[in-house]
Structure 1
Amino acid sequence: MAASELIEDDGGVRTHVEAITTVVTPHNSPGHPQRVANGNPSRHGSSPSPPADTHDGRKRDGNGKLSSLWKQNQLIQTLSSGLRRHCDYVKISIPEEHANRLPTEWWKTGVAFLYAVFNLVFTTVVITIVHERVPDKSVNPPLPDKFFDYVDRVPWAFTVTEVNGLILTGLWLVQWLCLKHRAIIGRRCFFLIGTLYMYRCITMYITTLPVPGKHMVCAPKLYNDSTGKIWRILRLISGGGLSLTGSHMMCGDFLYSGHTVMCTLSYLFIKEYSPRWMWWYHWFCWLLSASGVICILVAHEHYSIDVVIAYFVTTRVFWAYHTMANTHALRQAPNNYLSRTWWNCVFNFLERNVKTTVPIVFCWPVNLPSSCRQRYRIVEGGRDE
């Protein structure tokens, strides 16, 4: 039969202890008393019960089992309630997941994209306006430039610039699509593009320089022809503002160079968001960017001051933004002079929920089909074995 009792420890918690005893009746020596498993003699006599009482014994045995089960159930419930009353709950703080510190927030990326598109379109409008103010090259000759004094013009050099710029832009687009945190990186890129071209609109409009060389052919001025200006804007947008597409026939967009901005900015993003062991990739992109910028001057398509200012503004804005983005202590520091920039409020809007430095992690730009994912898991499982 089963015997149960409660033992209370020092902490006041009652423990249910159950001992099961088994009666052993040896067949060879009926005269000896029955002994239990612990060696104590049984309280019952050594002679077996008479056959007449067998039926009543079974009833009592069945009732005893039911009573024992009911008591055991009560003891279990009492023990559970006692543990609930005396249990000390310990709060375990789980660190915040890394993924929550880098939320995607694609809607913010969409806002930054619209900001970039607006400024790019606005640049074409400003170029159309400035084109009407460019002085005639027969009346106002090109300004003296020291680079032009030592290097003669190479006609095909500007084509090299645009080809290099397209290659760099394509490489960065593919790299961006393969990055895991492309939403955060994308809105940084779009914001910087929009800001740099907004600065370019301001510098082009307030100071209109004469053409840097007499080889340049500018489209005729339209003056008050608003419809013709709109068609020029649409043509410039459709051709991407490139001379290769034949869409850029206007003059006046010299200060500062938009081609220098795109070559430099593409290289900066490629290097910033690729691992350091890809040094060969960094050097290749740097050669494309540097040769593209130099070819702008070799082709005499921009003054040297246009290229220098474009490089200076692009690198400083890029480095200032990423310094604030990667150094979180600066965001709340009272002596952070970078927070005095006009775009600090926009920066806080875009980077408010980014709590850590964005890691360089690559992934597939699209989700693989379920069959491919299953095969990948099987292959990985086989490798682990």
Structure 2
Amino acid sequence: MAASELIQDTDDVRPHVEVNITTLNPPSPPQRVANAKPTCLGPSPTSPSDEHDGRKQQTGSKMSSLLMQNQLINSLSRGLKKHCDYMKITMPEERANCLPNEWWKTGAAFLYAVFGLVFTTVVITFVHERVPDISVSPPLPDKFFDYVDRVPWAFTVTEVNGLILCGLWLVQWLFLKHKYLAIVARRCFFLIGTLYMYRCITMYITTLPVPGKHMVCAPKLYDDSMGKIWRILRLISGGGLSLTGSHMMCGDFLYSGHTVMLTLSYLFIKEYSPRWMWWYHWVCWLLSASGVICILIAHEHYSIDVLIGYIATTRIFWWYHTMANTNFLSRVWWNPVFNFLERNVQTTVPLVFSWPLRLPTSCRQRYRIVDGGRDE
């Protein structure tokens, strides 16, 4: 092996150089000598003695050049060993270890969300008894209502759009990689529970009159406890939707629960989907925005209800995810709950999707065997 092939540049110092030198005795004289000019063999005839002396000279020069190369390489190796500095490189912890499932925390967040939704129906039932009669307290003036007349079917569009967005988010969540399902789910459940708990407070402390004379409210039950329980169960079974005919009570105006679900589902869809799916984001945004506008067109909520619902949903969503990535907002009252849910999540959730239903182990092993046979 030639030294010119081993040493390409004097400035290029590389540790752990290993050199293997093999001496070959070719049957015929070589046409080239390492690190020397090629030897040209002329066509002129030579005597046997001259040819023998020439071979000896070439062999001696070859051995001397190989010896010099060997000495040069050995000196270079010794110099590299003396002056080579070793640097310890600490490999970062694998990202999968920073994203533990912890399904039990997800279960706790799910119970919190269920409690918030059930407690909301209880508060609606009690607030309904306090709603002033329309003959005593007419609807409050609203600037949007002054310019836009009521469209009866608009609220149906709102609820259909909300169901579509919730369905899209559910499918998208199922296709997330199984490692990240629990983390994203508990974030969603916690935000739902918190937003509806806030809604319970605003509904209870301030009871607004109905926003329009078109609204038909169920009769008040006052001290009929069993009747109130049946209303709570009916509202829960119908999902609180007017499409199912389960929502006949009034008073749950400040702030809008439909705005919360439309906005929150869109925010989760956009946050946990790749940026190249811009068309998907735009479709979901149109569904969310048109659903919120149709709430006002149907005169089912005051403008302030929709505005506060949007502000509360977006700010709490952004605050939570900011805390999950930077933890600057430690003064929020639910910071201890946040630390409980996110303590072991040390990085952002990657946007990796997989099939929600995995093949059985036996099928996967057979597939690997077949795939390995094809490669061979």
Calculate the TM-score normalised by the size of structure 2: 0.74
Tell me: CA distance 1:92–1:145, structure 2 relative to 1, closer, same or farther (3 Å). Answer: closer
Q: Where do 1:61-72 residues align within 5 Å?
A: none
Superposition pairs for residues 134-145 of structure 1, below 5 Å? Answer: 134-145=131-142
**Can you give the 5+ residue segments of structure 2 that lack an aligned partner in the other structure?**
1-87
**Counterpart-to-counterpart distance in 2, 1:93 and 1:348:** 28
Deviation at 1:324, TM superposition (A): 1.1
Matched, 1:227 2:226: yes
How do 1:223-372 residues align onto structure 2 when only pairs under 5 Å count? 223-327=222-326, 331=327, 336=328, 338-370=329-361, 372=363
Question: How many positions carry a matched residue from both structures?
Answer: 288
Report the counterpart of residue 120 of structure 1 in structure 2.
Answer: 117
Deviation at residue 369 of structure 1 after TM alignment: 2.5
What residue is the counterpart of 1:208 in the other structure? 207
Q: Give the superposition deviation at 1:178.
A: 1.1
- Determine the C-alpha separation between the residues in 2 that align with 1:377 and 1:317: 46
Instruction: Report SS of the residue matched to 2:107.
Output: helix
Partner Cα separation in structure 2 for residue 356 and residue 383 of structure 1: 39
Find the aligned partners of 2:335 and 2:100 in 1 and give their Cα distance.
Answer: 20
Q: CA deviation at 1:257?
A: 0.1
Task: Supply the AA of the counterpart residue of 1:109.
Answer: T
TM-score scaled by length of structure 1: 0.72
Local SS of the residue matching 1:340? coil
In 1, distance between residues paired with 2:251 and 2:218? Answer: 11
Partners of 1:266 and 1:376 in 2: CA distance: 38
When residues 231 and 94 of structure 1 are mapped into structure 2, their CA distance, relative to the original with a 3 A threshold, is same
- SS of equivalent residue, structure 2 residue 330: helix
Structure 1 unaligned regions, length at least 5: 1-90
Where 2:222 maps in the other structure, the secondary structure is coil
Higher relative contact order by CA 8 Å / sep ≥ 6: 1 or 2? 2
| In 1: Cα distance, 2:150 partner to 2:371 partner | 58
Displacement of 1:226 after TM fit?
A: 0.2
Partner of 1:248: helix, strand, or coil?
A: coil
Q: Deviations over 1:210-233 (max 9, x none)?
A: 000000000000000000000000
For residues 313 and 383 of structure 1, what CA distance do their matches in structure 2 show? 57
Q: Distance between the aligned counterparts of 1:197 and 1:178, measured in 2? A: 27
Give the aligned partner of residue 32 of structure 1.
Answer: none
1:383 Cα deviation (Å)?
8.8
1:374/1:232 Cα in 2 relative to 1: closer, same or farther (>3 Å)? same
What is the CA distance between 1:374 and its match in structure 2? 4.4
Deviations along 1:75-110, whole A, 9 cap, x unmatched? xxxxxxxxxxxxxxxx99664322111000000000
* Cα distance in structure 1, aligned partners of 2:103 and 2:235: 29
- Give me the whole-angstrom Cα distance separating, in 2, the residues matched to 1:304 and 1:92: 58
CA deviation string 1:330-367 (max 9, x = no partner): x3xxxx3x211101011100000001111111112222
2:108 to 108, 111, 117: 111
Instruction: For residue 377 of structure 1, report the CA deviation from its aligned partner.
Output: 3.9
Distance 1:105 1:154 in 2: 47
Distance of 2:373 and 2:224 partners within structure 1? 72
Match of 1:155 among 152, 157, 172: 152
Distance in structure 1 (CA, Å) of the matches to 2:89 and 2:295: 62
Counterpart-to-counterpart distance in 2, 1:157 and 1:257: 15
Once the two structures are superposed, residues 137-189 of structure 1 have per-residue CA deviations (whole angstroms, 9 ceiling, x without a partner) of 11111000000000000000000000000000000011111112010000000
After superposition, the Cα gap between the structure-2 partners of 1:130 and 1:384, relative to the gap in structure 1 and judged at 3 Å, is: farther
3-state secondary structure, aligned to 1:339: coil
Q: What is the rounded CA distance, in whole Å, between the counterparts of 1:375 and 1:141 in structure 2?
A: 72
